[in-house]
Amino acid sequence: MDLLHLGFAVRDIETTTKAYRDLFGVDWAPIARYVLPDLDGGPDQVSLVTHGQTGDGVEIEMVQTVSGQTVDARWFGDREGLSHIAFKVEDLAAERARLAALGVEIVGEGSAPRADWFFVRDERLGGALVQLVQLRGS
C-alpha cells in the first residue's frame, strides 16, 4: 500500500490553506464542493475539499463540512485536526474483506468521480481513522 494523503478536518478551508501556503509553501488545488449521500439515510453531507502538495510530493487534504455529518465527526466530534490517513489500494473489495476478517471496524464508505473508498477504525491505530482508496482506473 502507498500513502495517498493526510486528511484534516478544518472549520475555515480558506484561512487554513492560506496559512499552509504562506508558512510552508504548500501548493493547493482549487477548492471543490462535494455533495455525498449520508449512508444512514440522514441529510446529504456537503463539504468543501482541496488537496495540496508539499515540495517533496506529500499530499494533504483539507475538508470543511458545510452541512451533514462526516465519518470523522461521528467518531471525534466537532473539532479540527488530523482526521485520517489515506492509503491507495489496487483492489478495494479485497482489502475490505481482508480487514473485516481481521475484525477491523468499517465505519463509512463513499464514492466520488475520481475514487471509491472506505474508512476503518480500530483502537490499535493511535486515534486516527484510516481511509483506503481505490482510484478509478487503478
pLDDT tens-digit series, residues 93-121: 999 999 999 999 999 999 988 999 999 99
Tell me, what's the pLDDT at 29? Answer: 97
The segments of the chain whose pLDDT lies below 70 read 138
Tell me, what's the pLDDT at 37? Answer: 83
Tell me, what's the pLDDT at 116? Answer: 96
CB 62 within 8 A of CB 55: no
Tell me, what's the pLDDT at 95? Answer: 96
pTM: 0.81
Tell me, what's the pLDDT at 9? Answer: 92
Mean pLDDT, the chain, integer: 91
Residue 68 burial (C-beta neighbours within 10 Å; 0-12, 13-18, 19+): middle
CB 119 within 8 A of CB 96: no
Domain ranges of the chain: 2-135
Residue with cell 490499535: 124
- 127 membership: H or E segment, kind and range: none
The CATH homologous superfamily for domain 2-135 is: 2,3-Dihydroxybiphenyl 1,2-Dioxygenase, domain 1 (3.10.180.10)
